[in-house]
Amino acid sequence: MYKAKAYSATSATSPLASATIPRRDLTDQDVQIEILFCGICHSDLHQVRNEWSGVMPTVYPCVPGHEIVGRVTKVGSAVTKFKTGDLAAVGCMVDSDRTCKECQAGLEQFCANFTLTYNFPDKHLGGVTYGGYSDSIVVDQRFVLHVPSNLNLAGVAPLLCAGITTYSPMRHWGVTKGKKVGVVGLGGLGHMGVKFAHALGAHVVVFTTSANKKDDALRLGADEVVISRNADEMQKHATSFDFILDCVSADHDVAAYINLLGRDGNVTLVGAPEKPFPVSAFNLIFGRRSLSGSPIGGIPETQEMLDFCGKHNITSDVEVIPIQKVNEAYGRLLKADVKYRFSIDMASLKSE
Ligand SMILES: NC(=O)c1ccc[n+]([C@@H]2O[C@H](COP(=O)([O-])OP(=O)(O)OC[C@H]3O[C@@H](n4cnc5c(N)ncnc54)[C@H](OP(=O)(O)O)[C@@H]3O)[C@@H](O)[C@H]2O)c1
Ligand SMILES: [Zn+2]
Ligand SMILES: [Zn+2]
Distance CA 272, CA 85 (A): 37
Tell me which amino acid residue 116 is. L
When pLDDT is averaged across residues 113-124 and rounded to a whole number, the result is 98
Closest ligand 1 atom to 293 CA: 1
Angle (nearest 5°) at CA 347 between 345 and 348: 80
CA dihedral 333, 337, 342, 345 (to 10 degrees): -110
Distance CA 309, CA 349 (A): 28
% of the chain at pLDDT higher than 90: 97
Mind listing the pLDDT tens digit for each residue in 303-343?
999 999 999 999 999 999 999 999 999 999 999 899 999 99
Q: How far is the CA of 234 from the centre of ligand 2 (A)?
A: 28
Ligand nearest to the CA of 297: 1
Residue 53 CB neighbour total at 10 angstroms: 13
Mind listing the pLDDT tens digit for each residue in 259-302?
999 999 999 999 988 788 999 999 999 999 999 999 999 999 99
* The pLDDT of residue 160 is above 90: yes
pLDDT of amino acid 256: 96
* The pLDDT of residue 132 is above 90: yes
% of the chain at pLDDT higher than 70: 100
Q: How far is the CA of 107 from the centre of ligand 3 (A)?
A: 8
Distance CA 113, CA 163 (A): 23
Q: How far is the CA of 42 from the centre of ligand 1 (A)?
A: 7
Distance CA 47, CA 89 (A): 21
Tell me which amino acid residue 35 is. I
pLDDT of amino acid 324: 98
The secondary structure of the chain in percent helix, strand, coil, rounded to multiples of 5, reads: 30, 30, 45
Distance CA 193, CA 206 (A): 10
Mind listing the pLDDT tens digit for each residue in 243-263?
999 999 999 999 999 999 999
- Spell out which residues line ligand 1, taking CB within 6 angstroms: 41-43, 46, 161-162, 165, 185-190, 208-210, 213, 247-250, 252, 270-272, 294-296, 333, 336, 338
In this predicted structure, which of 18-22, 54-58, 291-295 has the lowest mean pLDDT?
A: 54-58
Distance CA 35, CA 137 (A): 7
Q: How far is the CA of 295 from the centre of ligand 1 (A)?
A: 14
